[in-house]
Amino acid sequence: MEPQLGPEAIALRLGWPALFLWVSALSCSVSLPAPPSPSLVPRVRTSYNFGRTFLGLDKCNACIGTSICKKFFKEEIRFDNWLASHFELPLDYLRSYPANYSDDSKTWRPVEIARLLSKHQNEISDRRICASAAAPKTCSIERVLRKTGRFQKWLQAKRLTPDLVQGLPSPLLRCPSQRLLDRVVRRYAEVADAGSIFMDHFTDRDKLRLLYTLAVNTHPILLQIFPGAEGWPLPKYLGSCGRFLVSTSTSLLQEFYGAPPDQAADLAYQLLRILESLRNNDLNYFLYFTHVDAAMFGIFNNGHLFIRDASALGVIDKQEGTQHGPG
């Protein structure tokens, strides 16, 4: 007897048309408890005691970046739930947290603060890196990574080329074209002077942070190279601090299990449009999912469906082998 498959696995096995049926079935599914959502006005608290260890700043430059750290320390990013009263920080074993973000400390909007890996996965990865260098369990991850042959090649490189990312496990990098990698460098938001396909303005630490992100989880890179402001169905990348990234976020798709049939049908239609835009777009990139589950999708306040987790997206350059246009 074959094992029973869940709806997500069935949809993946049967292909994209089955996803339509999967999303349409939302109106018939048993409602699941929705995760807590951030309030629009953060509760008044004493000063947040953000620590370098909690944010992962003690691991930099084996981290995502530091572009949004000031927002954390100025309390313009505030966690909403799961605050540990003793440390005034969220419980550190969670993968992501609902929070509030402000540009003026007066008006607030909901955001998501997320790790690329769970805290446990990060610890295992760090221990393996130390073990590979026969170093103590609490070694300097950055120092070990700087000595690797791959990073030594990165230090000498003026341009990010396919050979520099060969062997990295991300779906984004399974068959990268030069045009795609140029787009990664040109759109990389963790450097002060983005816009060039060459890495002359990258410091050693910039290169290490980019390499770390590409090696661990390319979700923040995809948010940067295919931004929602240009019509891509992805949340806005707001920045990173240590091993956390901050992006716009609203409701999870699971919250709409039990939605009225007309709303479920609208979500199914939006999903089909998203899939079509990933396959056929003006930039001639073919984006595809390596796996699918409901947690990968979210819904903005205006009812628009989007991909909240892009880590499973692969990219094929359909323009590869032809005359390259703008990337």
Highest mean pLDDT among 52-56, 114-118, 215-219: 215-219
Q: Phi and psi (nearest 5°) for 89?
A: -130, 155
pLDDT score, position 251 = 86
pLDDT score, position 201 = 93
* Cα 250–Cα 251–Cα 255 angle in degrees, nearest 5: 175
pTM for the complete prediction? Answer: 0.81
Strand-by-strand arrangement of the 297-299 sheet: 251-252, 297-299, 305-307
- Co-location of 44 and 94 in the same domain: yes
Nearest to 129 by CA among 241, 240, 243, 212: 212
C-beta separation of 289 from 259 below 8 A:
no
- Co-location of 201 and 219 in the same domain: yes
- pLDDT, tens digit, for every residue of 161-177? 999 999 999 999 999 99
- Co-location of 78 and 121 in the same domain: yes
**Residue 57 belongs to what domain range?**
31-249+308-327
Lowest mean pLDDT, pick from 27-31, 133-137, 302-306: 27-31
- Co-location of 64 and 155 in the same domain: yes
**Amino acid (one-letter) located at 65:** G
pLDDT of 23 > 80? The answer is no
- pLDDT, tens digit, for every residue of 63-92? 999 999 999 888 898 876 544 444 455 667
- Co-location of 14 and 39 in the same domain: no
- Co-location of 265 and 226 in the same domain: no
Mean pLDDT calculated for residue range 229-242: 96
For residue 2, being part of any structural domain is answered with no
pLDDT of 109 > 70? The answer is yes
C-beta separation of 145 from 62 below 8 A:
yes
Tell me how many domains the chain contains: 2
For residue 302, being part of any structural domain is answered with yes
C-beta separation of 306 from 273 below 8 A:
no
How far is it, in rounded angstroms, from Cα 191 to Cα 207? 10
pLDDT of 12 > 90? The answer is no
